[in-house]
Amino acid sequence: MYSDDLTIQHWLTRHAKYKAHKTAIVCGSQRQTFAELNANVNQLVHALQQSGVCKGDKVATVLSNSIELWEIYWACAKMGAVAVPLSPLLRGSGLANLIDNADAKLVITDKETAQYVTAVREALTNVPIGNFWLINTSDMIGYRSYHAQKAKHPVTEPEVKPVTGSDPYNIIYSSGTTGLPKGIVISHAVRALYGSLFANSYRMTPESVVMHSGSIIFNGSFLTLMPAMFLGCTYVLQDHFDPQQVITAISKESVTHTILVPSQIIACLQQPQFSSQSLPSIEYILSVGAPLLLEHKQELNKRIPGVFYELYGLTEGFMTILDKTDAARKTGSVGYAPSFMEMKICNDSGEAQPAGVIGEIVGKGPLLMDGYYKNEIQTRETLRNGWLYTGDLGYVDEDGFLFLTGRKKDLIISGGVNVYPADIEEVVIKHPAVTDVAVFGVAHCEWGETPVAAVVVNTGEAEATSIKTWVNDHIDARFQKIHDIMIVRELPRNVAGKVLKRELKEQYENRK
């Protein structure tokens, strides 16, 4: 049972009092101090309350990175509303289903995405007619202006109901890589622990400058978002990812901490200025969202030594962290469970396995979700006796460090032998023409399944046949040899950076 005081409700109010003139948020040309941010958030809370939003009500956003999205997050925290960030890439029934599933009381979007919200408005059952707000402009029928609603209200602290640690703060929808997205309910206490535990793990201080260049609608962003606000750091928010802009921002703002998903790290490594000489302020680069291939880890550690961390984890609430001090000696590992968390590797019968044996990664600790929103069956399947069954495969070495081998559902069984895509991907990426790779299984009349590699290449002259020959010459085990190579312009990824192997498989099968 969490302490009632373990909440994020008053974090911003506290910083506005004690760090009033410190820069809280930088987004493009916009900058706000903690006092200014708090004043804007107070106006927003008043406006939300006037629109009928109360403690526990859901506020859905369909927004890209912006100052406004940042304000919404902290307004929800202050008043006890539940922030439901949705991807601006959602369309049609996919968008409508999530807004409805979340029981959203209000929807906030912008002019770039409003057309897609408008297209599904008649299908929505819970949002009152006047509770569609629009950022940037107010000239669209059926929407109220976000900024006009705020402007009606004072900057004084609003009257709000107390929030407890067990009250929900977020519903974060899963990526849907293995089926329909599920609403993951995350409490104030869990977000508060994100702030304190991860600030410690990442060696953050109140003087740190934290940057995020990916979308802050996915849970990985909260890994540094919450520590930054907990400590009262300056948060630099990029409105979109661009490798050159990342480098420029790190240099200009003296950024010390940043998260980059693997595809972003790959893009940054293609920039000559991405080096410790050009970026002396950087102390921490966290890879998260998907496994980073060994080839890219080694290049990053070579370019900017002593700053690489890697986090494996699920929004549902279990994580491991590879610390920068272990990155060189435990190459290929994603670290170990931090304080207050436990981990075990289990076989299909739920029995714990010894070091070196592959099984399902199972964990528990204080960061576990409350459950999947309105989905008790899947909650019970995932949370069993206080343990989170991740659906991921891996093993621990003799020192207890975790090594990933893939998703259970991505496992390829070829001729009765388990084939782990990650093992093959580590070989394929070493080909000089390959910059990115994902391996998946397809049906085979003789072997049951066989591996196929989708690759992104750095030259138009690279041929699938020659890559396949090279890879198979470098793979020792016959059952791991790839059946085919599919050259693609880019790997499809969700907003969290995870490769969508289902889409690759469909794309491959449609080519045949």
Residue of 287, 385, 421, 397 lying closest to 336 (CA atoms): 397
Report the C-alpha gap between 202 and 286 in whole angstroms.
9
Question: CA 303 to CA 458: how far, in whole Å?
Answer: 20
Q: Are 375 and 383 in contact (CB under 8 A)?
A: no
Q: Give residue 178's pLDDT.
A: 43
Q: Is the pLDDT confidence value at 156 over 60? A: yes
**Rounded Cα gap, residues 403 and 293, in angstroms:** 12
Helices 67-79 and 11-18, interaxial angle, to 10°? 110
Nearest to 70 by CA among 228, 255, 248, 231: 228
Nearest-5° Cα angle at 454, 450 to 456: 160
Among residues 399, 285, 388, the alpha carbon closest in space to that of 336 is found at 399
pLDDT value for 512:
65
pLDDT of 416 reads 67
pLDDT for 248 equals 97
**Over the range 464-502, which residues count as b (16 or more CB within 10 Å of their CB) and which as e?**
eeebbebbeeebeeebbbbbbbbbbeebbbbbbbbbbbb
Question: Is the Cβ–Cβ distance between 179 and 97 less than 8 Å?
Answer: no
60, 85, 27, 91: which is closest to 239 by C-alpha?
27
Strand partners of residue 26: 31, 236
DSSP code of 44?
H
Residue type, 283: E
Q: Residue 55 burial by CB count (10 A; 0-12/13-18/19+): exposed, middle or buried?
A: middle
Return the pLDDT at 289: 79
**Section 481-506 average pLDDT:** 87
Residue 408 reports pLDDT greater than 90:
no
Q: What is the pLDDT of residues 79-88, one digit of tens each?
A: 999 999 998 9
Question: Which helix or strand (DSSP H or E) is residue 505 part of?
Answer: helix 501-511
Q: How far apart are CA 22 and CA 14, in angstroms?
A: 13
Over residues 91-150, the pLDDT tens digits come to: 898 899 999 999 999 999 999 999 999 999 998 988 998 899 999 776 788 899 999 999
Between CA 166 and CA 6 the distance in angstroms is: 9
The CA distance from 40 to 156, in Å, is 10
What average pLDDT does this structure show over 412-430? 83
Helices 11-18 and 222-231, packing angle to 10 deg: 40
CA–CA distances in Å: residue 148 to residues 71, 81, 118: 15, 21, 20
- Separation CA 445–CA 463 (nearest Å): 26
pLDDT for 8: 98
